């Protein structure tokens, strides 16, 4: 028997029209570095999105399913692109502005982007690549920045504001099929070529509802979210869409991502929510320690993308700010889990839940696969590779303009689950604790050592700013951990005393005997510890290693 319910496709267009009408007075505030930030209401954003869509169709000839890329900071214009491009039937492709040039070229060509909307300040990055980007016919430049790098460009160059000025504030949005492509994002590609994940209108719609659920980020129209996570990193974790659904305001840092301006933004605009990777919160903490300010307006903070050291959570607890860990991936839209403790816990009972990666959200099914592929129980101790499935989880990678989508066997199980490459345990009540990335785990004498556990313990030392642990070859044990540590300025702590400190919480056989001290840990394009770069430094003999 069929249901008696209406069929209404779940589309980004519906999120846009809802936000710009029902929440017309909510706003996107963009930091400008000047006395006043730029404030634009959702109604204005919606009207400008209509103008942008009109210009893309009428002036630039963008048609259905064609890719329109953005190379932009988090700002109001980027939000306009977020809604205009998918709602007109084209595909939004967010480009990661921190990628090496070679990878950007590869990605734009693989996606066959026809248009790139770029912030003026990023032209020095884009312009030299243009001769290698034959599919790009139009460049649309927005915001401040010298335009001269584009002199002599083959592609047609347009000014964003001029294009919008020539268009009406309404657009006859097409009725789209909900499974059509809405947005495209490439994984940061730490191994092999980057892989394209194509989000559908439906997956974005359902994911946004989950982001807003109170057991996730719980946003309402009384909130303002400081969106530090870049709009090119998995759709800013769904925040722009989620905000248009509930009317939560957005505070956008644009290019002012250093700890100083971020603290100033919080101080002046008083956001109630914020989302960013742990390295951002480490940087903010250092800033707040040297120049204390009140940031307790932040009701909750979503921290994810890499493991959150428990010591960081404790430090923010003292500032009256609660960090809530989330786990996800480009392939999972990204929200997979969030670490809100179950009801009825005392503060002490809450702690183990808070430092886990969190509880699976409705819509994300999870299982653990052991080394032989056997499915393991959720008993809190059986450790295996996490596999997931659900309506906002990728089932394949984008094949490119001329190929079929691909389902590599190391990424998808025979029965269609996504193999995450993350290793961990799941408790009987559905909380995930990750012990490592499958490729980062240290295999020592037939046992596994979790690099993340060692890092978290080390970062709990008062003199340690950052710590990354990698596996290095060892004649006797196959692999052993090498701890790479950044100390506070002026600290004289050595490997021996750090090892003694670790010994208080870590089993003896897991303690590293190799130590290297560096001034900073290299970061990936989305701000995580770049272990591949560290492994290379080790292989190239660039690390000064002491035994302890
Ligand atoms: P990306 O696709 O760049 O967002 O990277 C996804 C990967 O980041 C995941 O597969 C995890 O390895 C890692 N990750 C994300 N969130 C967390 C977290 N809360 N704790 C530990 N690792 C995380």
Give 324 Cα–ligand 1 centroid separation in angstroms.
Answer: 14
The answer on pLDDT for 196 being more than 80 is yes
DSSP 403-421: S--B--TTTB-TTS-EEEE
Mean pLDDT is highest, among 167-176, 403-412, 436-445, for 167-176
* 3-class SS of residue 228: coil
Indicate if 440-547 has the same CATH topology as 8-202: no
Q: CB of 526 closer than 6 A to ligand 1? A: yes
pLDDT confidence of residue 512: 97
Residues annotated catalytic, as ranges: 187, 331, 443, 448
Ligand 1 pocket test, candidate residues 329, 419, 527, 530, most atoms within 8 A of CB? 329
pLDDT confidence of residue 363: 93
- 331's CB contacts (< 8 A; 6+ apart) are 187, 197, 393, 394, 418, 420
Which pLDDT band holds residue 401 (cuts at 50, 70, 90)? confident
Q: CB of 96 closer than 6 A to ligand 1? A: no
Q: CB of 437 closer than 6 A to ligand 1? A: yes
Would residue 480 be called left, alpha or beta, if left means φ above 0 and alpha means ψ between -120 and 50 degrees?
A: beta
**Assigned architecture for domain 8-202:** 3-Layer(aba) Sandwich (3.40)
* 221: Cα separation from own chain's centroid: 23
* 259: Cα separation from own chain's centroid: 18
The answer on pLDDT for 356 being more than 80 is yes
The closest residue, in CA terms, to atom 8 on ligand 1 is 305
Which pLDDT band holds residue 447 (cuts at 50, 70, 90)? confident
Would residue 202 be called left, alpha or beta, if left means φ above 0 and alpha means ψ between -120 and 50 degrees?
A: alpha
The answer on pLDDT for 191 being more than 70 is no
Closest atom of ligand 1 to 187 CA is: 2
The closest residue, in CA terms, to atom 7 on ligand 1 is 329
Which pLDDT band holds residue 372 (cuts at 50, 70, 90)? confident
pLDDT confidence of residue 474: 94
pLDDT confidence of residue 190: 58
Give 437 Cα–ligand 1 centroid separation in angstroms.
Answer: 9
State how far the alpha carbon of 390 is from the alpha carbons of 101, 179, 326, 336, 363, in Å.
34, 14, 17, 10, 6
pLDDT confidence of residue 189: 61
Q: CB of 287 closer than 6 A to ligand 1? A: no
Q: CB of 334 closer than 6 A to ligand 1? A: yes
Q: Please provide the average confidence, as pLDDT, over all residues in the chain.
A: 96
Give the residue extent of every domain in the chain.
Answer: 8-202, 440-547
Q: Nearest Cα to 435, choosing from 418, 419, 453, 420?
A: 453
The model's pLDDT over 14-68, given as tens digits with 9 standing for 90+, comes to: 999 999 999 999 999 999 999 999 999 999 999 999 999 999 999 999 999 999 9
Q: CB of 230 closer than 6 A to ligand 1? A: no
The answer on pLDDT for 192 being more than 80 is no
Q: Nearest Cα to 84, choosing from 193, 163, 191?
A: 163
Give 327 Cα–ligand 1 centroid separation in angstroms.
Answer: 6
Pairing relation of β-strands 358-360 and 431-437? antiparallel
226, 265 contact by CB (below 8 A): yes
* pLDDT mean over 356-373: 94
Q: CB of 329 closer than 6 A to ligand 1? A: yes
Which pLDDT band holds residue 526 (cuts at 50, 70, 90)? confident
Give 334 Cα–ligand 1 centroid separation in angstroms.
Answer: 9
pLDDT confidence of residue 400: 86
Closest atom of ligand 1 to 303 CA is: 19
Query: What is the distance between the alpha carbons of residues 24 and 138, in angstroms, rounded to a whole number?
Result: 31
* 406: Cα separation from own chain's centroid: 23
Judge residue 254's burial from the number of C-beta atoms within 10 Å of its C-beta, 0-12 exposed, 13-18 middle, 19 or more buried: buried
- The CATH number for 440-547, chosen from 3.10.20.30, 3.30.300.30, 3.40.50.10680, 3.40.50.2300, is 3.30.300.30
């Amino acid at each position: 028997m069929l249901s008696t319910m209406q069929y209404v496709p779940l589309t980004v267009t519906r999120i846009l029209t809802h936000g710009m009408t029902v929440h017309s007075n909510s706003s996107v505030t963009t930091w400008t570095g000047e006395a006043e930030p730029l404030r634009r209401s959702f109604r204005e954003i919606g009207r400008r999105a209509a103008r942008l869509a009109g210009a893309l169709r009428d002036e630039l000839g963008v048609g259905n399913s064609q890719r329109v890329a953005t190379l932009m900071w988090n700002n109001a214009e980027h939000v306009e692109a977020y809604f205009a491009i998918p709602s007109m039937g084209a595909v939004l492709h967010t480009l990661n502005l921190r990628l090496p040039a070679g990878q950007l070229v590869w990605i734009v060509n693989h996606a066959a982007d026809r248009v790139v909307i770029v912030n003026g300040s990023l032209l020095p990055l884009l312009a030299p690549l243009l001769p290698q980007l034959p599919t790009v016919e139009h460049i649309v430049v927005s915001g401040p920045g010298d335009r001269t790098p584009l002199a002599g460009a083959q592609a047609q160059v347009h000014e964003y504001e001029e294009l919008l000025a020539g268009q009406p504030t309404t657009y006859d949005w097409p009725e789209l099929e909900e499974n059509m492509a809405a947005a495209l994002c490439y994984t940061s590609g730490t191994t092999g070529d980057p892989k394209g994940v194509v989000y559908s209108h439906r997956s974005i719609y359902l994911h946004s509802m989950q982001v807003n659920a109170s057991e996730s980020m719980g946003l309402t129209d009384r909130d303002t979210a400081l969106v530090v996570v870049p709009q090119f990193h998995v759709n800013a974790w769904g925040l722009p869409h989620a905000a248009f659904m509930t009317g939560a305001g957005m505070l956008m840092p644009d290019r002012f991502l250093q700890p100083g301006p971020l603290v100033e933004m919080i101080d002046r605009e008083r956001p109630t929510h914020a989302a960013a990777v742990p390295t951002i919160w480490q940087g903010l903490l250092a800033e707040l320690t040297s120049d204390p300010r009140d940031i307790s307006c932040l009701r909750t903070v979503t921290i994810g993308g890499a493991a959150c050291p428990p010591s960081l959570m404790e430090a923010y607890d003292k500032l009256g700010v609660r960090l809530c860990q989330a786990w996800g991936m480009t392939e999972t839209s990204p929200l997979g889990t969030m670490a809100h403790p179950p009801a009825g816990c005392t503060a002490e009972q809450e702690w183990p839940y808070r430092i886990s990666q969190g509880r699976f959200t409705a819509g994300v099914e999870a299982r653990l696969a052991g080394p032989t592929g056997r499915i393991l129980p959720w008993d809190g101790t059986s450790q295996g590779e996490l596999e997931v499935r659900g309506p906002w989880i990728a089932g394949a990678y984008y094949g490119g303009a001329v190929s079929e989508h691909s389902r590599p066997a190391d990424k998808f199980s025979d029965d269609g689950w996504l193999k995450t490459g993350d290793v961990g345990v799941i408790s009987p009540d559905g909380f995930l604790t990750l012990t490592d990335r499958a490729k980062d785990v240290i295999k020592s004498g037939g046992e596994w050592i979790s690099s993340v556990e060692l890092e978290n313990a080390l970062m709990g030392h008062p003199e340690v700013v950052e710590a990354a642990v990698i596996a290095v070859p060892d004649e006797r044990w196959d692999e052993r951990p090498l701890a790479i540590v950044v100390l506070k300025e002026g600290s004289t702590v050595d490997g021996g005393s750090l090892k003694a400190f670790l010994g208080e919480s870590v089993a003896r056989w897991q303690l590293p005997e190799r130590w290297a001290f560096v001034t900073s840990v290299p970061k990936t394009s989305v701000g995580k510890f770049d272990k591949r770069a560290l492994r290379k430094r080790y292989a190239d003999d660039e690390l000064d290693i002491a035994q302890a």
